[in-house]
Structure 1
Amino acid sequence: MLNRLQAPIIKDATEFDLKLKAYDKYVLDNGVEVYAVNAGTQEVLSLELVFSAGNWFEQQNNIAAATNYLIKNGTKSKTAFQLNEHFDYYGSHLSRGCYNETANIVLHCIDRHFATHLPVIAEMITDAIYPQHELDIYKQNMQQRLTVNLKKCDFVAGRLIDEYVFGKDHPYGVYSNKEDYDALQQEQLQDYYKKYYTEGKCIIFAAGLLPANFQQELNRTIGQLPLNQKEIPTILHPVTPAVEKKYRIANDPNGVQGAIRLAQPFPNRHHPDFQPVQVLNTLFGGFFGSRLMSNIREDKGYTYGIHSYILNHISTTAWMVSTEAGRDVSEATITEIYNEMKDLREELVDEEELQLVKNYLIGTILGDLDGPFHIIGRWKNLILNGLDEQYFYKSVNIIKNISAKELQELANKYLHPEKFYELVVV
């Protein structure tokens, strides 16, 4: 019988033995690789088709994003309304997204409707027509959205800091202007679509309670498309960071807040420091109990929230600090950020704080392993970055065993004010 007078034993999260559930892999007739996690208790599934079709491959700004967005806005036999109504009728959801290296089409549905949706998705991949009136609406909407966003200091800061770190012509640093939308032409989208979708490179990630005929239905439809039949040429984009490190931009004369960004270039996941720096970043500004939060929000009251993070890029990346503070305390906020860097360089973190950070990180991973959708998301991140399950277990091991001395050495290697681009937009 449970003794309610006796408190249960409390274990640190670092004592847990984490396991990443394996995926099933198979290859369709056209060479498309499928990674699937068949698990869960609800009769739902997700299917994500990831194409090598991000803005990394475009020759003109906004072509990749427009092509991805309008892929759902009309085929040879269906209008945009009919496509949307098809998925809505079954209570399903089909989204699409465009990123730096990749673009995707994502289906969430009840498992028994899966086979009904596949022919429609296949039709979108081979028969999208990019109607001129849909393109005109897209251009108008995006220009209006841009006009509104450019009044926001936080939006402007996000654009500019990427340009400073990576260069204005790099896919990670380029940003949209009104003229870019005016320049979009129907033929350009159709050409990009044919090259990077219809005849492009595709990988599929699936999760949930998958039907017994899942592989057969996928092969019967997506497996017969002309995907993965042509080699996608390798495109190199050199990083050309700005020479100047400090910027102050006036954007809104009536604004009461300043958008602050500090960033430095940082290696990608294949660098040996990437995983241990994740621990240091969490301590510095990666969660609500971080040094930056405790000082700048809780103690000084300069901001509602401040965060540091490593950007989720594949080729190369950056270490970023981001916040909005009162206009009159923006400079003081930057001073305090540098003070926290100095403390991490000069003083060892105590064991209690280090254990808190470790427990937080392990707890975050535990959350990422809860349910098939989270698990396939973890696998997707590994696979697209050319990594395997050993990277996952190495990361867990580093979190559990990294020492205060190792964190101090990393802080002395990376956390120096002169390494950071510094931007305030007011």
Structure 2
Amino acid sequence: MSIVTEQLNRTIAPVIKDATEFELKLKPYEKYVLDNGVEVYAVNAGTQEVMSVELVFSAGNWYEQQNNIAAATNFLIKNGTKDKTAFQLNEHFDYYGSHLTRGCYNETANIVLHCINRHLATHLPVVAEMITDAVYPQHELDIYRQNMQQRLTVNLKKCDFVAGRLIDEYVFGKNHPYGVYSNKEDYDALQQQQLQAYYKQYYTEGKCIIFAAGLLPADFAQQLNSTIGQLPLNKKEIPAIVHPLAPAEQMKYRIINDEKGVQGAIRLAQPFPNRHHPDFQKVQVLNTLFGGFFGSRLMSNIREDKGYTYGIHSYILNHISTTAWMISTEAGRDVCEATITEVYNEMRDLRDELVDEEELQLVKNYLIGTILGDLDGPFHIIGRWKNLILNGLDENYFYNSVNIIKTISAKELQELANKYLQPEKFYELVVV
């Protein structure tokens, strides 16, 4: 029997396909509901025996009555329970080579466990203990307060940090959860009883959703249900809270943070609708072309041509409610104003001229390539699902976004530029 093999002709380059020619598929999740009503979204995939479990609580600073309560409550949830000290909690996860983190954001706060799947049964009871029996020791609160105040003192000397605080205040309002920022006095005002009360309302008896990914154990659902599913979560309704926007009336600001500073932090921002607005997905394409990747108009002009900055970026803030379109960079003090002028020049060009097909195709390929990267592996996939679910969206939003990237025209982008890229709509801030 003879076997005929086809020889490769290495003198002929392989056919190059545009990323827009690929058909993208978002792997579906498995969903189940625990005994206490906690919804679980899981992507069971991968080849390594590792996994993540993320518990997302409606416990962000959107719900706090006093500044920094939400962040402090979330941070100190790992710093002692009725039966374990902060050291013992950390030692427990470190012993197994696992990693447990927590984070507080605007609407949500989370507890995230990364571990080898066979150790899950050992960790879940400890996670449950943190949700029901955290005690918020006074000495841990004192250490937290001191550390945060020291960090704030250092950061306030950095123009980039100050600019990030101020632009949010201008766009959303100084009392809005998206615009509020921390001061030393806010940390002094933190009291143990306040943290314990917030913890009880928004963690122990709070609203929780779970996102899991990786090579999950065969009895994963049963393990979750026998631990997290028996907690008093979701028993009470979280009250709906409305925070009205109160943007600043003045649009342009120049702040001197360091008289001897040689560099300035630049922020340009305008309020922008959230993901449910019909323009949102199309604007993501326009934003990428404008300043959303290394080959963008802003990068090519202000970094590569003018040499004013190492990097400049444009992006839509990742907020669930009303968000903002932001341009951010740092430049030499003597060229800050020139940098802003060039940003507006790029806005003008996008309003006045159609982008050519070659550049548009480059942007489309970049965006599709980015999505392909986000679909590589279970942790990226569950991250994509988490973003959709927490924003009240489904897989149709994902596929519609892919279709928009593939089909949007230069004319549509020009119309969007004329609608949104108007200098008078942007708050303008320079901090040196």
TM-score (norm 1): 1.00
Q: SS state of the match for residue 104, structure 1?
A: strand
The CA distance in 2 between the partners of 1:349 and 1:282, in whole Å, is 13
Give the match for residue 255 of structure 1. Answer: 261
- C-alpha deviations, 1:332-371, integer Å up to 9, x for none? 0000000000000000000000000000000000000000
Query: Residue 335 of structure 1 aligns to which amino acid in structure 2?
Result: T
Q: Distance in 1 between matches of 2:235 and 2:321?
A: 24
| Cross-structure match for 2:45 | 39
Q: C-alpha separation between the residues in 2 aligned to 1:16 and 1:423? A: 41
Q: Which residue of 1 aligns with 2:355?
A: 349
Q: Match of 1:208, as an amino acid?
A: G
Letter in 1 for 2:198: Y
The structure 2 residue matched to 1:382, chosen from 388, 392, 395, is: 388
Matched, 1:284 2:290: yes
Residue deviations 1:146-193 (CA, integer Å, cap 9, x gap): 000000000000000000000000000000000000000000000000
Q: Deviations over 1:355-407 (max 9, x none)?
A: 00000000000000000000000000000000000000000000000000000
* Structure 1 position 152 matched with structure 2 position 158: yes
Equivalent position of 2:332 in the other structure: 326
The separation in 1 between residues aligned to 2:288 and 2:377, in whole angstroms, is: 24
Partner of 2:304: 298
Partner of 1:244: 250
* Counterpart Cα distance in 1 of 2:426 and 2:48: 47
2:281 maps to which of 266, 275, 279: 275
Residue 119 of structure 2 is aligned to residue 113 of structure 1: yes
The C-alpha deviation readout for 1:265-321, integer Å capped at 9, x for no partner, is 000000000000000000000000000000000000000000000000001100000
Displacement of 1:141:
0.1
1: CA distance, partners of 2:247 / 2:212: 38
Letter in 1 for 2:391: N
Which one of the candidate residues 83, 91, 99 is aligned to 1:77? Answer: 83
Structure 1: 5+ residue runs without aligned partners?
none
5 Å-filtered alignment, 1:412-423, equals 412-423=418-429
Q: Distance in 1 between matches of 2:266 and 2:317?
A: 16
Q: Residue 253 of structure 1: CA displacement? A: 1.2
Match of 1:184 among 170, 190, 198: 190
Name segments (4+ residues, structure 1) moved above 6 Å: none
Deviation of the 1:254 alpha carbon: 1.5
Residue 369 (structure 1) aligned with residue 375 (structure 2): yes
Deviation at 1:3, TM superposition (A): 2.1
Percent of aligned pairs sharing the same letter: 89
Q: Secondary structure at 2:130's aligned position in 1? A: helix
Letter in 2 for 1:76: K
* TM-score where L is the length of structure 2: 0.98
User: 3-state DSSP class of the match of 1:255?
Assistant: coil
Q: How many angstroms apart in 2 are the aligned matches of 1:2 and 1:217?
A: 52
Rounded Cα–Cα distance in structure 1 between residues aligned with 2:28 and 2:116 = 23
Whole-angstrom CA distance in 1 between matches of 2:161 and 2:280: 27
C-alpha separation between the residues in 2 aligned to 1:201 and 1:386? 15
Matched to 1:350, the amino acid is D
2:314 pairs with 1:308: yes
Aligned counterparts, 1:197-216, within 5 A? 197-216=203-222
Per-residue deviation, 1:4 = 1.5
Q: Secondary structure at the match of 1:231?
A: coil
Q: How many residues align?
A: 426
1:163 maps to: 169
> What residue in structure 2 maps to residue 102 of structure 1?
108
2:401 pairs with 1:424: no
Supply the distance in 2 between the matched residues of 1:175 and 1:2 (Cα, whole angstroms): 62
The Cα shift of 1:2 comes to: 2.3
